[in-house]
């Protein structure tokens, strides 16, 4: 009921998509992400995420699961580059279930963190990693919109330039890039498409997923 009431307020204000629910599992009050989560274990978080996604569906506001594949007890990537050294087994047991629950409930989009997930790709942040995006598509079978976390966060700005980050994010398989530096990023992306460094077919697939979501929300007029 709380979700539906808040979603109704957002809908009345003209918002069609919300950056929630937070699907991170955190039971340690000292963890950076704790206060942004429901503060429950995996099972409790699964139930919370599933309930919120279904409630948002009923209200007509699109949902966003974040921050894939889950922060855990790691540091704050708003402030620094964060490396998550949990094994894939640990992620599958302690972090991924709420995302799977949200996907099964019909989540519309997923936001990927800038944390470097060593068990999947130790070379770069998850948000610009083709391996992480492929894992989300193939292993979790998510077919909706995938977006980056804010590229202005230190977890990305300390790793690479804004222009390189945006292009890398799209080439990795993201459909949307969250950034305020679009004026300098768009020309780089256009050039990459023209030079086939970022294939137009990949761009079209990303656009299709975004337009499909807009159509489902009733935002496209014939």
Which residues are marked as active site?
78, 149
Paired sense of beta strands 109-112 and 64-68, if any: parallel
At 173, list the tokens. Answer: 């398989």
d(CA 62, CA 214): 9
What 159-167 contacts at long range (C-beta under 8 Å, 24+ apart), as own/partner pairs, is 159/81, 159/114, 159/124, 159/125, 160/128, 163/188, 164/188, 165/128, 167/192, 167/197, 167/198
Q: Would you say 126 and 132 are in contact if contact means Cβ atoms under 8 Å apart?
A: yes
């Amino acid at each position: 009921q709380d979700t539906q009431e808040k979603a109704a307020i957002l809908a009345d204000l003209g918002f069609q998509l919300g950056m929630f629910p937070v699907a991170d599992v955190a039971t340690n009050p000292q963890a950076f992400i704790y206060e942004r989560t429901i503060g429950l274990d995996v099972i409790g978080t699964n139930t919370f995420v599933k309930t919120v996604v279904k409630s948002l569906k009923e209200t007509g506001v699109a949902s966003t699961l974040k921050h894939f594949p889950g922060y855990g007890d790691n540091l704050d990537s708003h402030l620094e580059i964060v490396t998550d050294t949990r094994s894939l087994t640990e992620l599958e047991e302690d972090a991924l279930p709420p995302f799977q629950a949200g996907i099964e409930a019909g989540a519309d989009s997923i936001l990927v963190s800038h944390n470097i997930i060593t068990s999947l790709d130790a070379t770069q942040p998850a948000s610009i990693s083709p391996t992480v995006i492929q894992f989300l598509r193939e292993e979790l079978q998510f077919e909706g919109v995938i977006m980056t976390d804010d590229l202005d966060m230190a977890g990305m700005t300390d790793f690479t330039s804004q222009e390189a980050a945006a292009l890398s994010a799209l080439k990795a398989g993201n459909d949307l890039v969250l950034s305020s530096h679009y004026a300098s990023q768009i020309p780089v992306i256009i050039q990459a498409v023209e030079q086939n460094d970022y294939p137009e077919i990949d761009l079209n697939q990303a656009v299709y997923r975004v337009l499909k979501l807009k159509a489902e929300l009733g935002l496209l007029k014939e």
